Amino acid sequence: MGHAEMEGWLNARAADLMGRAATPRDAGHAATISFARKVFIPLTRLCRDACHYY
């Protein structure tokens, strides 16, 4: 990657970068949505100040 190309990436808008990243993702996975059944959400850290769990 040359200096000019690197500078282009660094100065690009976030929306443009996300659009370019979405193209190969969509080509490989299209509209597939997945989820994980076993997700751990640490509530003691999530609402430490608001829920008074400490």
Residue 11 pLDDT level (bands cut at 50, 70, 90): very high
Q: What per-residue confidence (pLDDT) applies to 3? A: 92
Per the structure, the complete domain to which residue 12 belongs is given by: 3-51
CA 38/CA 15 separation, integer angstroms: 32
- Contact between 53 and 43 under an 8 Å Cβ cutoff? The reply is yes
**Residue range 27-50, pLDDT digits in tens:** 877 777 788 888 887 767 666 666
Count how many domains the chain has. 1
Closest CA to 42 of 27, 30, 32, 53: 53
- Contact between 32 and 23 under an 8 Å Cβ cutoff? The reply is no
For residues 22 and 30, the model is more confident at 22
